Amino acid sequence: MTENLVLVDGDDRPVGYAEKRLCHASRGMLHRAFTALLFDDAGRLLLTRRSPDKMLWPGKWDGTVASHPRDGETFVSAAERRLPEELGVSCTLEYLFKFEYHVSDGHRGSENEVCGTLIGTITSAPDPDPAEIVQTKFVSPHQMNVADSMEYCPWMLLALALLPRAHMSGSYHISEWTSSRTSDTMLQMTGRHMSDDDWRLVP
């Protein structure tokens, strides 16, 4: 089924629509996306391994769920739709911030996105759709190493690096993830994928 994504300018203002594969081909077209990071009560992040059939970053570890809002959806409403579809769970999500980034996956294509970052607490066991997610695991920051940077999706690493800049209203036990030490590590890992000139926070 054809899926059209929302094209945006650098200020995240809609400027049109384009088919999903076209948005990710070659250098890509700037479009709207989100990444949702779910943590358990112990402050561990739920990572998901992408299906090997994914167009970009197949088989790599991602934040809990990443996808694209449809026309008329907010970042939160889009993620609330996708969480049950991809992971078989639902939860309350909080919007934190958005960033623009551009990164290539070699011959496969590129991500060129304004990406909204969301956070939530997972309280039930995931039941992933194998067409989307082939493995899950909970991790603490010390389990993610710079040497393994290329095993992780770059947008997830960047979102984690920016967490200390977020203002969170919920009760999350993620102090390890918001430390300057963890942020520096995530920025180093992001730097294995793209330069500092390839991303920025969007107001």
Q: Are 110 and 103 in contact (CB under 8 A)?
A: yes
* CA distances from residue 5 to 10, 37, 183 in whole angstroms, order as listed: 16, 21, 30
- List all residues 6 or more positions away from 79 whose beta carbon is below 8 Å from its beta carbon: 34, 36, 65, 67, 93, 118
In the residue annotation, 94 being an active-site residue is answered as no
Q: Are 100 and 114 in contact (CB under 8 A)?
A: yes
Going by C-alpha positions, the residue among 8, 7, 77 that lies closest to residue 36 is 77
**What whole-number distance in Å separates Cα of residue 40 and Cα of residue 122?**
5
Question: Of residues 113, 132, 151, 176, which has the active-site annotation?
Answer: 113
Q: Are 195 and 93 in contact (CB under 8 A)?
A: no
**Count of CB atoms situated within 10 Å of the CB of 184:** 12
Which amino acid appears at position 108 of this protein?
A: R
Catalytic site positions: 113
